[in-house]
Chains A and B, each alone.
Chain A
């Protein structure tokens, strides 16, 4: 009778966890009972029983083994001293392992610290957990509706569980001090209770009082300590002075103590003078509402009460509130947009970085295992002399711990330095001072996190190879000790890791290297444009102008779209009224600047010459008489007014520049850059050709790094259909690429700026002498101009360019370094693999040679299999290179560099593999036949 066999997986599990000396009897006993159960209850029930038993046995024996290890497995001081000695004895492993682990831990620590600092996580932790946010959510989309002015009153009256309810409106404004100095500032129009949320105190004068709230109150302002210091030079007589924000003058009543942080990083607080009693429901500006849980009340109770209030409101005003769910949440969740999403993104990013550490450690573990193989005899003898397995594992773990902690130290120092350097570059790129909590050094939590990671790394690097080296084959090793062989096998897993590693290296290094080369060439190549003669500034409008314009457009039924602008808190709600007002303000500012002494020319453009990394919209277009490629033609678009085209006129490559007549409404002309000619027109003459766009611009492909310009977030969708009704635009001239960046610039079309134009736009001012000298005058012009104008990012063009180059260096430096570490690891891994495999076969080679085999034949046998593995890794890597190409480079990818680097890395790995094997082979071939035969006996 066939009684069947127990499930294979369960048998495999048992064979892994039950100790070798008990394995046969346990399996036999279980099989005996299994047969009985098959006969009694059928196969399925017996299978289930067997699987459960297998799990139970595995868990019990694993636990038992751990108990056995305990006690004997605690590393001693001597183990650590031995570990330090091993670092000196294996310099190759020490350097490779240290670089790999230090890089991974450094990246983890740096990312942790940078993102933590950037999001002000430490600051939020200081906000009392009884401070809550109140918000409305759309029940269908889940979006937060921040228009809660009318709800403030309802919440104040209807909620017993939340006290001190207030709200804040965050705004970007231009501050004009009593001495006429001007600066862009972050403003919070905030209820007085906001200060009590963080128990703020004044450094000078007073903070906001409840009597300051409401439409009847006089406008008053409280300055942040840092802004007071930065903008007003810590003027001690500031209390009582008047500052202007937009078109309203405020009396300064005090300066808040340093590091006051609510509802976020703010330069100036002004009193909340909005009338919530008469406000329309679900209308008004976007607010952050907050409050404090009443004593003895919990968040859950507050949520319940809020839901009841919401239900009543939905009954009373179904049109407005049927789809609204009001909620009470921890304050952080309301204050920073969608922090849950950010937290998730951070969690994922951190997990990926920990995986990077795991990969690095897996590689180092392979190297450590290869070294342990060389120490097999030592381990076997120690075992024979009575050292328990746990003791030996503890020693090897201690050795790994020394390496990992040393690496963590190196990684932390490097990350600390990189953060300080990178932080400076980052804030310079943002062109705002870092927030007061910004601390570029390593914090204690990050150091502790890194040490924990290092200990984890040591576990991977030390324990896994140690368990393998002290496994069941140790006894066999003891038997062969002294005969020059080793019973330890490298195993399938480390071999696979190395094949994987080679594939990754062959793929990653060329891709990253080419990206670096291309980025460098495209973005750092010297521009001939005389950047040192120019000053630039970005023209924005303040939040008051934005909100009133948006309200006008909304009541007229105009559709608004949100335009995100670098460095501006929430982006802009854009509509025709705002564009109209902006056009007037912009022209007014340009006119005033033109009248300044020492100014040669002033032009308005969305695209600064010589600067490449701007976030500029791309447009899909068609060319008259040309069949487009499958993905269509794409070009970046820029608009500029007539003076800009005069600035570029002397550099026009062919055709002509745009002149005043081209700016008439009925003129449809444009200029393109050289990259457009090469990539879109395939080198044909551009002048006279006709193009037209498919639709409105779509979001830029390149990520903004902070030089301004707007990316369109919503409201524009790339049309896949050409619009036959759109007029054709004639190309009249070609601009050199250096004006749009450098050699690798994207195709670009310059349209004349006419009518309302775009938002935001930049001033490009040519100055006699040092452009920096004009900067203070620009601020004064902003103060004199129509209220609502903000001039920010006032900088010499050369500084902007220098900053851009520095960012490229930083980016290229980091990716280049990661690529280098990957290649280093792969090279060391391949060397270790080959030298190990060949030294394993030393005896065999000796015997075969002794028996008269031709050395060439012997060598072929030894190397063939290994080179098949190496070749497989190289092949997989090259396939990945072919499939991935150069990300982000599109058709302009530098394929020559890519493939040359790919071939170079493959060759280096193969040569290193060969060298790794050659030394032991030479030794094997020189073995005397008698020696080989004696060893075998």
Chain B
């Protein structure tokens, strides 16, 4: 997957963050994806994807204060950056262009 396009799973993770609003972390993101797609996802895949998205500059992260309930461990909070939003929009446009005119055919095929 090149820098210029988003994979399906990357899109899911970005969309989950957007659904949850800013300042979210790994646990609710996984829950959100599972809830919306109705299928379970590998938790580790979400974390690895988050790291990759951050390296690509599509999300930014920062550490929360230590949380006592977590044994003093902080949360890594994430937020989608403008570049991430732009790429999501590009991906959606590309997919819609591909789907354009196919909905009835695809629907009959099912």
Say whether A24 contacts B48, CB under 8 Å. Answer: no
> Is B108 part of the binding interface, using a Cβ–Cβ cutoff of 8 Å?
no
> Is A596 part of the binding interface, using a Cβ–Cβ cutoff of 8 Å?
no
> Is B82 part of the binding interface, using a Cβ–Cβ cutoff of 8 Å?
no
B76 CB to closest chain A CB, in angstroms? 4
Interface segment out of the listed B3-11, B12-20, B63-71, B96-104 = B63-71
0 or 1 for each of B68-110: is its CB under 8 Å from A? (1 = yes): 0111011110000000000000000000000000000000000
Contact of B70 among A31, A53, A57, A61 (CB under 8 A): A31
| Chain A residues, Cβ within 8 Å of B69 | 32, 35
| Minimal Cβ-Cβ distance residue in A for B71 | A31
Say whether B75 contacts A28, CB under 8 Å. Answer: yes
Say whether A25 contacts B45, CB under 8 Å. Answer: no
Say whether A24 contacts B43, CB under 8 Å. Answer: no
| Chain A residues, Cβ within 8 Å of B45 | 60
| Chain A residues, Cβ within 8 Å of B73 | 24-25, 27-28, 31
Complex interface residues of chain A between 49 and 108 (CB less than 8 A to chain B): 53, 56-57, 59-61, 64
A25 CA to B62 CA, complexed, in Å? 11
Say whether A61 contacts B26, CB under 8 Å. Answer: no
| Chain A residues, Cβ within 8 Å of B74 | 24-25, 28
| Chain B residues, Cβ within 8 Å of A25 | 25-26, 63, 73-76
A30 CA to B47 CA, complexed, in Å? 11
A890 CA to B67 CA, complexed, in Å? 70
> Is A319 part of the binding interface, using a Cβ–Cβ cutoff of 8 Å?
no
| Chain B residues, Cβ within 8 Å of A35 | 69
Total chain B interface residues with beta-carbon distance under 8 A: 19
Say whether A29 contacts B75, CB under 8 Å. Answer: yes
0 or 1 for each of B24-62: is its CB under 8 Å from A? (1 = yes): 011100000000000000111101100100000000000
> Is A33 part of the binding interface, using a Cβ–Cβ cutoff of 8 Å?
yes
| Chain B residues, Cβ within 8 Å of A57 | 43-44, 47
Contact of A53 among B25, B43, B63, B76 (CB under 8 A): B43
Contact of A28 among B44, B48, B67 (CB under 8 A): B67
Would A53 and B44 be within 8 Å (CB), given that A24-B74, A28-B74 are in contact?
Answer: yes
> Is A661 part of the binding interface, using a Cβ–Cβ cutoff of 8 Å?
no
A22 CA to B47 CA, complexed, in Å? 9
| Chain B residues, Cβ within 8 Å of A31 | 70-71, 73
| Minimal Cβ-Cβ distance residue in B for A19 | B51
A29 CA to B25 CA, complexed, in Å? 9
A30 CA to B71 CA, complexed, in Å? 11
> Is A487 part of the binding interface, using a Cβ–Cβ cutoff of 8 Å?
no
Say whether B76 contacts A22, CB under 8 Å. Answer: yes
Complex interface residues of chain A between 1 and 38 (CB less than 8 A to chain B): 22, 24-33, 35
| Minimal Cβ-Cβ distance residue in B for A33 | B27
A288 CA to B71 CA, complexed, in Å? 74
| Chain B residues, Cβ within 8 Å of A26 | 26, 47
0 or 1 for each of A817-836: is its CB under 8 Å from B? (1 = yes): 00000000000000000000
| Minimal Cβ-Cβ distance residue in A for B76 | A25
A507 CB to closest chain B CB, in angstroms? 46
Say whether A60 contacts B51, CB under 8 Å. Answer: no
| Chain A residues, Cβ within 8 Å of B63 | 25
Pairs A-B, 3 closest by C-beta atoms: A28-B73, A25-B76, A60-B44
Q: 24 A-B Cβ contacts within 8 A?
A: A24-B74, A25-B25, A25-B73, A27-B73, A28-B67, A28-B70, A28-B73, A28-B74, A28-B75, A29-B26, A29-B27, A32-B27, A32-B69, A33-B27, A35-B69, A53-B44, A56-B42, A57-B47, A59-B44, A60-B44, A60-B48, A61-B48, A64-B48, A64-B51
